[in-house]
């Protein structure tokens, strides 16, 4: 489990491009037959990429979180950004199609993740599952719950005129699948729209992480970060994640349409608890 220590906004102006990427970009999450995890001290979030190919993978405990089993005092949302697969929680199997979300509550003992078809031969499906995990500490247990793609609370946002028309699916939130503090969903840009979260905002009470996916291999997202009056950018590829501290904007523009998993943890679960600002004030 890689560790990333918390950073302050006054550190950003002196960072090089590589410094920014080392602290806020999480590449190479999905490696065949591996579980890769990153622990950020921003709200003690754990990001994970689980890629079962030749055999199922069992989520272990880690000394960095001081637990014998991963969910001893944590909860998580898991979104499948690859081919179809199955997450089995304490003997109960949950099939996750591409884009589906599974909430796993505190106290789950055995969590096993598997791909349905690693060859990609199933009609309309492509290759092994790629499970993206977002986890935060939990004080109580809520039931494990599956949400099929597009079956959460749906919000239509933006406009084609401003190149930011997008469909937002809220999966884990205060009026949907219950959790202690994790809030999670998937946003998909409409064809011809490239901007996400613009006008931008910050969440002074929560850390938010993005995972960009369904981005063509040669395409990229130019992701904005930093304080609104001191922004920087990173060029991000498919299935790469971004750690966005509470003081940072999180917005991006792609060279092609894409989707992204957004997930938050922190002081509250109010989706609209955000601090917006006019684009004209950004620097």
Annotated binding site: 201, 203, 208, 250
What is the number of other CB atoms lying within 10 angstroms of the CB of residue 205?
Answer: 15
Q: Binding site for Zn(2+): which residues?
A: 201, 203, 208, 250
Report the 3 state secondary structure along the chain: CEEECCCCHHHHHHCCHHHHHHHHEECCCCCCCCEEEEEECCCCEEEEEECCCCCCEECCCCHHHCCCCCCCCEEEEEEECCCCEEEEECCEEEEECCCCEEEECCCCCCEEEEECCCCCCCCCCCCCCCEEEEEEECCCCCCCEEECCCCCEEEEECCHHHCCCEEEEEEECCCCECCCCCEEEEEEECCCCCEECCCCEECCCEEEEEEEECCCCCCCEEEEEEECCEEEEEEECCCCEEEECCCCCCEEEECCCCEEEEEEEECCCCCCCCEECCHHHCC
Q: Which residues pair with 137 in a beta bridge?
A: 74
Please state, in angstroms and rounded to a whole number, the distance separating the CA atoms of residues 104 and 84: 18
Contact 158, 119 (CB under 8 A): no
31: Cα separation from own chain's centroid:
17
Please state, in angstroms and rounded to a whole number, the distance separating the CA atoms of residues 93 and 115: 12
């Amino acid at each position: 489990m890689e560790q990333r220590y918390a950073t302050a906004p006054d550190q950003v102006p002196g960072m090089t491009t590589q410094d920014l990427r080392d602290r806020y970009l999480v590449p190479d999450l999905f490696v065949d037959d591996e579980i890769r995890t990153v622990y950020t001290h921003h709200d003690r979030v754990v990001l994970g990429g689980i890629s079962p190919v030749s055999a199922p993978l069992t989520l272990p405990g880690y000394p960095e979180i001081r637990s014998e089993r991963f969910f001893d005092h944590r909860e998580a949302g898991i979104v499948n950004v690859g081919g179809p697969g199955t997450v089995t929680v304490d003997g109960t199997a949950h099939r996750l199609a591409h884009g589906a979300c599974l909430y796993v509550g505190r106290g789950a003992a055995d969590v096993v993740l598997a791909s349905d078809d690693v060859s990609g031969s199933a009609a309309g499906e492509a290759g092994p599952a790629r499970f993206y995990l977002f986890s935060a500490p939990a004080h109580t247990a809520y039931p494990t719950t599956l949400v099929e793609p597009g079956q959460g609370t749906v919000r239509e946002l933006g406009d084609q005129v401003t190149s930011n028309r997008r469909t937002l699916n809220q999966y884990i939130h205060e009026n949907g699948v219950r959790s202690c503090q994790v809030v999670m969903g998937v946003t998909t840009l409409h064809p011809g729209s490239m901007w996400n979260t613009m006008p931008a905002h910050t969440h002074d009470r929560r850390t938010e992480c993005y995972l960009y996916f369904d981005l063509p291999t040669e395409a990229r997202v130019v992701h904005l970060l930093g304080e609104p009056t001191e922004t920087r950018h990173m060029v991000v590829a498919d299935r790469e994640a971004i750690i966005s501290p509470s003081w940072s904007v999180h917005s991006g523009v792609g060279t092609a349409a894409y989707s992204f998993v957004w997930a938050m943890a922190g002081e509250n679960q109010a989706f609209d608890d955000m601090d917006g600002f006019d684009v004209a004030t950004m620097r």
